[in-house]
A and B are shown apart, each in its own frame.
Chain A
Amino acid sequence: MSDAIATTSAGASSGRLRADVAVIGAGPAGIAAAVRAADAGASVVVLDEGMRPGGQIWHHRTRAGLPRLARDWLDALDRSAATVVCGASVVDIEPGFRLAAEVRGAPLTVDAGTVILATGARERFLPFPGWTLPGVVGVGGAQALLKSGASFAGKRIVIAGSGPLLLPVAASLARAGARIAIVAEQAPAAAVRRFGAGLWRTPGKIAQAARYRAAFRATRYAWGTWATRAAGDDAVREVTLTDGRHTWVEPCDVLCTGYGLVPSTELARLAGCAIDRGRVVVDARQRTSIPGIYCAGEPTGIAGVEASLIEGEIAGLAAVGRARKAIERLDAARRRQRRFADRLDAAFAPRAELRSLAAADTIICRCEDVTAGRLRPEWSQRQAKLYTRAGMGPCQGRICGAALEHLFGWDAGTVRAPAVATRLATLIAEPTPDDAGDCPTQNRTKGAS
């Protein structure tokens, strides 16, 4: 039996909440931050776009299928006094802080003294001919669709991308009845082996890797292999793979493609936080360059669940002024996870050939159908936007931005409200004076479970 969707008690009309701490994102980092801050006595509001807390890696319909670690943290969140608002897209952060969000089409304003950004990460997609066909989904995308109830049973699936997501996703799909034709990792075998050899420093990850591989031992797994083209009429039917020497075609119903994760930093940039090489800059207390704003988890650098939990705990405690002991307890583990993250980046760095996969007529900006041939390398992100509309669609340049950064080295542009496409009514919403409420404890609708 599934858990009901958590909702705000503020109702459907323009709502307002007030809290000591607002946590944006209810993945592992946000959950850990919210639990620690709430248990320390702060009033906490958590805002997440999804239907339930858990973010991407702990995305679920029923908790029974989640690992023990996830269930424990979700239970702790339930038990805590934090208010969790799901289906909430945060579109603006004004100084002071006032968050503007849209919840199921209705405006919600949250006034908070402190903000913790736990906005996670998203997949990096590198364009190649045919990548816009229906049936071409992300690696994490397939995982997300599977977890939200899509069936892949009986489907023939090619997974061609990069990074540690490939194996667990292949395992999940196989368990769900899909036929995995091949898993193609673009990184060369030597790089992946070096990475594997270094796993002894993070023993938990060796066990993980072994489990995943065991799940589909019979599946072909190829290193140094990548997809160059997807083809089909109204949906993908086959994909062309190459290892640089041999090229062949694999029929498929679904092609999973994705080249690692990139931090989601839009709200941090909107709020003026310092960013370095695509990561939100934080200190030992997870403080950003803006006083009162903290950041934890993937936006500070892709490092996985364990790092997100550690950083979330520290941020939650730092937000209530109790970080010192947490840092003493957790700092070594945090640094170890960061080193793991750096080794990960190095091992799975996209190979040079991926930069030249896009043909002149390959779509780069999917929202606005801007093809590679219309873009000039000497431009900037902003110039491309003004001249071709690339990045001017509803995804606000999130998908094509990573591709353009990879292809041309362009920095992402500035971010202004709204951080997510939102109804204009949300932008003008001002809370009516009489419905402002301090965020009360235990103020959350829980469904039957």
Chain B
Amino acid sequence: MSAARHPDVLVIGAGIVGAACAYEFAREGLDVAVLDAGFAGGGTTAAGMGHLVVMDDSEAQFALTAYSRRLWEERAEDLPAECEFDRCGTLWVAEDDAQMEAVRAKHDAYVAHGIAAEVLDGRAVAECEPELRAPLAGGLRVPGDRVLYPPAAARHFLERARECGAEVRERCRVSQIRDGGVLLEEGGRLDAGAVVNAAGAEAARLVPALPIVPRKGHLVITDRYPGFCRHQLVELGYLKSAHVMSAESVAFNVQPRATGQLLIGSSRELVGWDASLNRDIVRQMLRRAIAFLPRLGTLSGLRTWNGFRPATPDKLPIIGRWDETEGLWIAAGHEGLGITTALGTARILADLLLGRTPEIDAAPFAPARFAAQAAS
């Protein structure tokens, strides 16, 4: 990257969010540069499950995930085979009558928002997913949910951005954000019309006032067992695990990959940046999964790994202008929904940057909600 270059937008972070933003701006005809401290898609994106899911835990989340899921569907034909885009849908499973009440309420909320959903009783659940333990109380099938392989998607968006003239620089770490540009760890300065902090779990390293903390999650993947399950299977209790900031929790969350491998999540811990394998929580996570899928224990496990979700206090991402620094915008803090909401985030940010009104209400994601706290 030549020192004389002065892009319209400099995106910090080439994960799924940064890549989606880069593509969105480049498509609009802006001159874009993307920097990543490692390689594209190698951070939290590599530890994401790639579940494109509508989440109903708040109005704002509902709007953002539904909007974004729609954008993914529009983009689907353009995704190359490596992205493994699959229309398997989600099956939320209910263990008892209380959870079935929640299933019915969830169904009504989805349908009211125009999201197709279907309540299944215990027998219907057993029919469409024979490996689930029986009897379960029932479930909610969301046929419009999707899965994909996140690092390939990030790579694809950057490739598209490059085709529009964007420049991508890997193994290039930003040490500081200044008014009108950034300083690089290797030395030198890059100025840009606007800077976007899409550094994910590390976003607060560059903007300390951002209330983004790392929330660790583990994953396990099995050998190939095609047909073992057909939907992404999630327990209703997942919402509690994701959205209550307890020290540690696990939830049943299993995904069939295009390869026939089963991707098993999910766990959450607040342990700072400790990237070591936590065997105890992996065991808890596997036990929870085996409780729902009894034969899972007989399957061959190939690999465990973990990553850090960028978590905010109100569970919503931070998308918009950061007034404390000139020309700085934020697109970070997506916790466990970064893959799902990457496209919605990119579109909203592009709209805000170019002075347009976003298609959904962006106020709940405004950085100002935290800047006010930081200033007080």
Contact = CB atoms under 8 A, between A and B. Distances in A.
- Physical contact A–B (CB less than 8 Å): yes
Contact of B301 (A94, A387, A392, A421): A421
Contacts of B234: none
Most buried by A among B82, B279, B299: B279
Interface string B22-51: 000000000000000001011000100000
Contacts of B297: 423-425, 428
Interface in A392-445: 392-394, 396, 416-418, 421-425, 427-428, 430
A238 interface: no
Contacts of A422: 300-301
A393 B302 contact: yes
A380 B170 CA distance: 12
A92 interface: yes
B41 A386 contact: yes
Given A94-B279, A386-B42, A392 B303 contact: yes
Interface in A370-403: 379-380, 382-383, 386-387, 392-394, 396
A379 B41 CA distance: 13
Contact of B304 (A383, A387, A392, A418): A418
Nearest to B276: A416
B243 interface: no
Contacts of B334: none
A430 B287 CA distance: 11
Interface in B209-255: 220, 222-223
Contacts of A92: 279
Contact of A387 (B152, B222, B305): B152
Contacts of B301: 418, 421-424, 427
Nearest to B304: A416
Contacts of B290: 424-425, 428
B286 interface: yes
Most buried by A among B290, B300, B305: B300
Contacts of A383: 39, 42
A366 to B, nearest CB: 14
Given A386-B46, A427-B282, A421 B299 contact: no
A390 to B, nearest CB: 13
B310 interface: no
Interface in B66-101: 82
B200 interface: no
Given A379-B39, A386-B42, A427 B283 contact: yes
A315 to B, nearest CB: 27
Contacts of B287: 428
B299 A423 contact: yes
Given A394-B223, A428-B286, A423 B155 contact: no
Nearest to A105: B298
B42 A425 contact: no
Most buried by B among A92, A422, A428: A428
Contact of A423 (B283, B298, B303, B304): B298
B298 A421 contact: no
Contact of B220 (A380, A387, A424, A430): A424
B181 interface: no
A428 B46 CA distance: 24
Interface of A: 92, 94, 379-380, 382-383, 386-387, 392-394, 396, 416-418, 421-425, 427-428, 430
Given A396-B303, A427-B283, A427-B286, 9 more contacts: A379-B39, A383-B39, A387-B41, A392-B303, A421-B223, A424-B220, A424-B297, A424-B298, A424-B301
29 contacts: A94-B279, A379-B39, A383-B42, A386-B46, A387-B151, A392-B302, A416-B277, A416-B303, A417-B277, A417-B304, A418-B304, A421-B223, A421-B300, A422-B300, A423-B299, A423-B300, A424-B220, A424-B222, A424-B286, A424-B290, A424-B298, A424-B300, A424-B301, A425-B297, A425-B298, A427-B283, A428-B286, A428-B290, A430-B283
Interface of B: 39, 41-42, 46, 82, 151-152, 155, 220, 222-223, 277, 279, 282-283, 286-287, 290, 296-305
